[in-house]
């Protein structure tokens, strides 16, 4: 609010740092809140309180509820993308099962739970729908790029693109199966089998 | 309410038919309501009105909101199971792609949309959670049985059980991808590719 006109570089920098830190706290609190309480229980006020930030400051960063929660899901998705790339700095080499496991992990934690609440709410709430549709497409494309890269998949070969897409659909379905119960045992067996199948298809 | 003590068979039968028809109308209205308005917008009153039934009559059939909506999702899931078996009276023969398409169809219509709202609500609402968890397990087992049967999958062979499970996880993920946008084009290509892969794995 209000432009800083007289501050020198030395004063502005810490102010920007504080602002960035506040923003980040809000985004993390928003994802945790969505994952725990769903869309109906997630308001800007609840998130501001959780983040230890005033409601006014929260609204300065995110004017609307839609702004806050779509930004939050996008922020955490970017964090996760960075983290998964960091896990395999030289690509997957031959360990495709490790890559599949890491990809499926994207869909079984609090981020997926939060995103799922947002998707489902967007399916019935008009102001949210176009925002989430656009966000989902963007995050989906990035996840696909990561999968292709880490799996060493050659998408110029027929069928490879659809193979990777189906794998990511499976990962999403495994996330859904984990929503109400701990599905880790079954999931590990499915991952082991499908990693073998993928290995055959991609190295043919 | 109140036992029928004096009615003869001829009077009781139409009464039972009417009761069954009312119950069915309520179940169908409940699924449509969940799919359109989500859990927050789905109450017994809203469903009763949609079905053209009094609130009292609705509560006679389903004492609680949880009773109504879990029964509704189960009822429609059973209808869909019967329908998919009827599509392939002699099993799938060699047309595995037709079977995969029919299985994925289970997850892209109003039933899946309704079930998804119920699952997501159950993840944050205690009275609903155990009911939906139990229902999901039951419907999941039945869908798995149908898939094994129609695909002609021999589950005594190592990995086959997990292959079928992964396929159904993929189907669920494709359903989720269809929630906000019409994903039919991409979905058809994924189905075509993974049906070919499945054919190789199951006929090896």
Give domain limits for chain A. Answer: 65-203
Give the separation between CA B61 and CA A39, rounded to whole angstroms. Answer: 31
* B141-194 pLDDT tens trace: 999 999 999 999 999 999 999 999 999 999 999 999 999 999 999 999 999 999
Residue A10, pLDDT score: 54
- Distance (Å) from the alpha carbon of B39 to chain A's nearest alpha carbon: 10
For residue B104, the chain A residues in CB contact (below 8 A) are none
Instruction: Name, in order, each residue with C-beta under 8 angstroms of B4's C-beta and a sequence gap of 6 or more.
Output: B12, B15
Residue B191, pLDDT score: 98
Measuring CA to CA, which residue among B115, B119, B93, B106 is closest to residue B203? Answer: B93
Q: Which of B40, B113, B180 sits opposite A132 (nearest CB)?
A: B180
Residue B63, pLDDT score: 96
User: What rounded mean pLDDT belongs to chain A?
Assistant: 91
Contact B120 A122 (CB under 8 A): no
Residue B16, pLDDT score: 86
Instruction: Establish if A194 touches chain B: CB-CB under 8 angstroms.
Output: yes
Three-class DSSP category at A170: helix
pLDDT score of B33 more than 80 = yes
Residue B10, pLDDT score: 54
* A64-120 pLDDT tens trace: 999 999 999 999 999 999 999 999 988 767 689 999 999 999 999 889 999 999 999
Mean pLDDT of A155-172: 97
How does residue A2 score in pLDDT terms, banded at 50, 70 and 90?
very low
Q: Which of A113, A124, A173 sits opposite B169 (nearest CB)?
A: A173
How does residue A30 score in pLDDT terms, banded at 50, 70 and 90?
very high
Instruction: Name, in order, each residue with C-beta under 8 angstroms of A48's C-beta and a sequence gap of 6 or more.
Output: A26, A29, A54, A55, A57, A58
* A121-143 pLDDT tens trace: 999 888 899 999 999 999 999 99
Report phi then psi at B189, rounded to 5.
-70, -40
- The residues in A 142-171 lying below 8 A from B, measured between CB atoms, are 159, 162-163, 165-166, 168-171
Contact A173 B174 (CB under 8 A): yes
pLDDT score of A7 more than 60 = no
Q: Which of B41, B129, B193 sits opposite A163 (nearest CB)?
A: B193
pLDDT score of B27 more than 50 = yes
Specify whether the CB–CB gap between A190 and B162 falls below 8 A. Answer: yes
Q: What is the DSSP letter of A1?
A: -
Measuring CA to CA, which residue among B168, B162, B170 is closest to residue B190? Answer: B170
Q: Choose the mutation target among B34, B101, B131, B173 for the interface with A, i.e. most A CBs under 10 Å.
A: B173
Give the separation between CA B83 and CA B110, rounded to whole angstroms. Answer: 15
Neighbours of B178 (CB within 10 A): 19
For residue B147, the chain A residues in CB contact (below 8 A) are none
User: What rounded mean pLDDT belongs to chain B?
Assistant: 91
Measuring CA to CA, which residue among A65, A58, A149, A142 is closest to residue A99? Answer: A149
Q: Which residue of B has its CA nearest to A121?
A: B38
Give the separation between CA A202 and CA A95, rounded to whole angstroms. Answer: 13
Angstrom CA distances, B202 to A84, B136, B145, B188, stand at 32, 27, 16, 21
- The residues in B 81-140 lying below 8 A from A, measured between CB atoms, are 113, 116-117, 119-124, 129, 132-133, 136-137, 140
Residue A91, pLDDT score: 73
Work out whether the CA dihedral A50, A55, A57, A59 comes out positive or negative. Answer: positive
How does residue B22 score in pLDDT terms, banded at 50, 70 and 90?
very high
Q: What is the DSSP letter of A91?
A: B
* B96-110 pLDDT tens trace: 999 999 999 999 988
DSSP A127-147: TTHHHHHHHHHHHHHHHHHHH
pLDDT score of B61 more than 50 = yes
Report phi then psi at A64, rounded to 5.
-125, 165
Give the separation between CA B162 and CA B145, rounded to whole angstroms. Answer: 13
pLDDT score of A39 more than 50 = yes
For residue B173, the chain A residues in CB contact (below 8 A) are 168-176
For residue A123, the chain B residues in CB contact (below 8 A) are 38, 113, 179-180
Specify whether the CB–CB gap between B178 and A153 falls below 8 A. Answer: no
- Distance (Å) from the alpha carbon of A194 to chain B's nearest alpha carbon: 7
Residue B137, pLDDT score: 94
How does residue B9 score in pLDDT terms, banded at 50, 70 and 90?
low
- Distance (Å) from the alpha carbon of B88 to chain A's nearest alpha carbon: 24
pLDDT score of A9 more than 60 = no
| Paired tokens of A107 | 């869909």
Neighbours of A156 (CB within 10 A): 7
Three-class DSSP category at A35: helix
- The residues in B 32-61 lying below 8 A from A, measured between CB atoms, are 36-38, 40-41
Say what the ipTM of the complex is: 0.90
């Amino acid at each position: 609010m209000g432009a800083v006109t007289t501050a020198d570089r030395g004063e502005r920098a810490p102010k920007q740092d504080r602002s960035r830190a506040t923003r980040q706290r809000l985004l993390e609190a928003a994802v945790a809140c969505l994952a725990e309480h769903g869309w109906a229980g997630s308001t800007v006020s609840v998130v501001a309180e959780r983040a230890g930030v005033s409601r006014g400051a929260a609204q300065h960063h995110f004017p609307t509820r839609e702004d806050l929660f779509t930004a939050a899901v996008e922020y955490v998705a970017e964090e996760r993308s960075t983290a998964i790339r960091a896990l395999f700095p030289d690509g997957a080499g031959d360990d495709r099962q490790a890559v599949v496991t890491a990809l499926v992990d994207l869909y079984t934690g609090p981020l997926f739970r939060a995103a799922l609440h947002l998707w489902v709410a967007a399916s019935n709430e008009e102001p949210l729908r176009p925002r989430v549709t656009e966000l989902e497409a963007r995050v989906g494309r990035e996840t696909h790029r990561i999968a292709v890269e880490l799996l060493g998949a050659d998408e110029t070969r027929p069928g490879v693109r659809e193979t990777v897409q189906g794998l990511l659909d499976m990962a999403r379905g495994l996330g859904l199966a984990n929503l109400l119960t701990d599905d880790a045992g079954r999931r590990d067996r499915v991952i082991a089998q499908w990693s073998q199948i993928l290995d055959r298809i991609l190295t043919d």
